[in-house]
Chain A
Amino acid sequence: MRELQDLADALINGYADRVSKLTNELLETGVEPQTILNEGLIAGMTVVGEKMRTGEMYLPEVLQSASAMHASLKLLKPHLVKEGVESRGKILMGTVKGDMHDIGKNLVGIMLQGAGFELVDLGLNVPPQKFVEAIGMHQPAVVGLSAMLTTTMLNMKTTIEAINNAGLRSKVKIIIGGAPVSQKFADDIGADGYARDAVKAVDKVKELLAA
């Protein structure tokens, strides 16, 4: 459908006003909200993610597209809720206890939202128990743990143990990221995945949820 392609193109170019205008027009002409979401917005953001991966777009441009998507989602949300359409999945994220670094985590969060996931961000210096409580409250599909220090990365292990002890481990997939961690460390502490940057984090979440 030409109009959906126009919507995707406007999104790729980060034209928030045009994206909102096209979203309204599509709704008015009776196009299903889920079709607008999947074939317009998510299709556009998939191209954006690919352009970032290949170095064709910088982060500020990606975020401009993400902002345009949020503007459109605001318009779509009441319709999606009414029709019982669910998001692609809820992701709970936080920087582990003792660690104050959050720019990497924030980037991952923005990219995930841009890919159509719902995000619950617990912030930084998050104790294991707070992750446990938040899993109970929000029931995410994936939990993301971030750490930047060699002396805080072990708190990822402590957090996973706490989730395990609370009987919640089988209900969530867990991914980790941050400068000192690796796939091997993820394997050692019983995480389901590791991503070395924000783009790869989105890929990993998609992969885990598809499995």
Chain B
Amino acid sequence: MQHTVRERWRSLAVTNADELMFGRAPKPVTCGFGLKLGEGKVFPELNFTLPTMMLDETNWPSVVAQYRDIGEMIVRASQRLHLPGLMVEFELLPPMTERPEWGAEITHILNEALATAHHSYGLPCALRVTPTDIRDATRPPSLRTGEEWIVLQQSLRMCAKGGAHVLSIESIGGKEVNDEAMMYGDVTGVIFALGVLAPRDMAFLWGDIVKVCEECRIVPGGDSACGFANTAMQLASQGMVPEVFAAMIRAASAVRSLVAYEQGAYGPSKDCAYEGPIIKAMTGAPISMEGKSATCAHFSPVGNVAAAMCDLWSNESVQDIRLLSGSAPEAFLELLAYDCRLFNQALERGTEKMYQDLLVHSDMHLSPQALILSPESTLRIARAIVAEPTHYLQTIAAARESLTILREALLGGILPLSIKERRWLDRLERSLDELPEVEEDLLEAMKERYGHLFLPESYGL
């Protein structure tokens, strides 16, 4: 089944870095119970997961009770914290996607909690639901056929009907090749995964998700390159791969995430999609981001700069365990609430640019990954992407622009890089220069090298 590209961005929604601002998006989105995103305010996006416990049939009543408690906490804490609005994300665990009725049941519980908050004290709020992309249950993954794809479709539909206001997913098409290529430092393999395989799967998958959203009159939010660029970020933080490589992968991953919007998604993007600012510059869609207040889930070198252009500010995921103060989700909701008060005070007083500068400059000279997320870098990468006609060329252009930004910063003395990192910067630049102009010229070599990992038919190849 071939999905037609509905829109391809040839120009930018934001052309001036000063206009790439937190809380403001050129194409605002209203969702759920009156939550208006991108219209001058930043709202918390709360995400949570289960503590250590079995997730099976015998334990399902305990799981339901846990989510019910979280729902009650949200109603109570949102009022206590005077939240101006709230997005709640329910990220399904794999068994909740494999049994679509489970995912739908929790969706319904959380929807009811938000409805209570909205109707009791007028909280503008919405529920984002993110089923697990379970299509990689087998290797090589079968992405377009088979039981997992059928069940994923059912899950998306049942969550949409069960009370989701926004649908998202962290899709995995191309990840099977990217994982291997990234570990081996193979730039050609990474570009093939991100620029050839992933966009094809995104188009296939998001065509379907958008259809479900249209039928159910809810919002197709967006995808995340979590499995690609966040994996690179984590490997870099462990000293396994160079930071410049992780930064390049982040920039290149924006193209595959953009495909959701080409298919009809319109935001808010996923919190763990750190490529979100690039998407915002191209599409104008509001974005969700995470950083310093998501250390409950993972560490990052972009804790402040990640906030510079967000419309939702998320904690990524926290286990529902008991802390001294209360439950961990409540503790993190409070953290996000205070973060958002600062964003919104800055916006109200007209000091948002100064606040954004603090967020950006406190990180950008310490890490290549932070530098490429500054508003100026974001805009340059976005501009490089929209100038190219195909996903493959866009991916190369994004990668190349990110390296140019890093090279300029290095030469300008504003980004110190170790000798090891500099060697890799040279190596990455050389590798990009060696890529063929057309993707067809890459295909045979990639089939030979990575053919054991992916099924061409999963990508319509």
**Which residues of A come within 8 Å of B, CB atoms?**
52, 55-56, 58-61, 63-64, 98-100, 103, 106-107, 110, 123-125, 149-151, 153-154, 180, 197
Contacts and interface: CB of A to CB of B under 8 A. Distances in A.
Interface in B243-284: none
Contacts of A55: 239
A14 to B, nearest CB: 11
B49 A150 contact: yes
B51 interface: yes
A145 to B, nearest CB: 15
A180 B94 contact: no
Contacts of A106: 179, 183
Interface of B: 49-55, 93-95, 134, 136-137, 139, 179, 183-186, 231, 235, 238-242, 319, 420, 424
A107 B183 contact: yes
Contacts of B94: 98-100, 149
Given A98-B95, A100-B134, A58 B424 contact: yes
Given A103-B231, A123-B139, A150 B240 contact: no
Contact of B242 (A58, A149, A197): A58
Q: Which of B49, B136, B184, B319 counts the most chain A CB atoms within 10 A?
A: B184
A64 B185 CA distance: 9
A150 B53 contact: yes
A140 B51 CA distance: 32
A106 B453 CA distance: 13
A103 B93 contact: no
Given A98-B95, A100-B137, A59 B240 contact: yes
13 contacts: A52-B239, A55-B239, A59-B235, A61-B185, A63-B184, A64-B184, A103-B183, A110-B183, A149-B93, A151-B53, A151-B54, A151-B93, A153-B52
B44 to A, nearest CB: 22
Contacts of B53: 150-151, 154
Contacts of B139: 123-124
Contacts of A123: 139
Given A58-B241, A59-B241, A150-B319, A100 B179 contact: no
B52 A59 contact: no
A208 to B, nearest CB: 23
Q: Which of A59, A123, A197 counts the most chain B CB atoms within 10 A?
A: A59
B103 to A, nearest CB: 14
A124 B54 CA distance: 18
Contacts of B183: 59-60, 63, 103, 106-107, 110
B50 A151 contact: yes
A180 B52 contact: yes
Nearest to B134: A100
Contacts of A58: 185, 239-242, 420, 424
Contacts of B93: 149, 151
A52 B239 CA distance: 8
A149 B54 CA distance: 11
10 closest Cβ pairs, A-B complex: A60-B185, A59-B240, A151-B55, A150-B52, A55-B239, A103-B179, A63-B184, A154-B54, A151-B93, A60-B184
Given A106-B179, A150-B51, A151-B53, A100 B241 contact: no
Given A125-B137, A154-B54, 15 more contacts: A56-B420, A58-B240, A59-B183, A59-B235, A60-B186, A64-B184, A99-B94, A100-B136, A103-B231, A107-B183, A107-B240, A110-B183, A149-B93, A149-B94, A150-B52
A197 B241 contact: no
Q: Which of B93, B185, B238, B240 counts the most chain A CB atoms within 10 A?
A: B240
Nearest to A54: B239
Contacts of A99: 94
Contacts of B179: 103, 106
Contacts of B424: 58
Contacts of A107: 183, 240
Contacts of B52: 150-151, 153-154, 180
Contacts of B134: 100
A64 B54 CA distance: 40
A59 B94 CA distance: 30
B89 to A, nearest CB: 17
A64 B427 CA distance: 15
Q: Which of A52, A61, A123, A153 counts the most chain B CB atoms within 10 A?
A: A61
A165 B186 CA distance: 44
Contacts of A61: 185
Nearest to B179: A103
A106 to B, nearest CB: 7
A173 B231 CA distance: 29
A107 B186 CA distance: 16
Contacts of A52: 239
Contacts of A150: 49-53, 319
A100 B301 CA distance: 26
Nearest to B139: A123
A26 B238 CA distance: 37
Contacts of A110: 183
A96 to B, nearest CB: 12
B141 to A, nearest CB: 10
Q: Which of A58, A149, A154 counts the most chain B CB atoms within 10 A?
A: A58
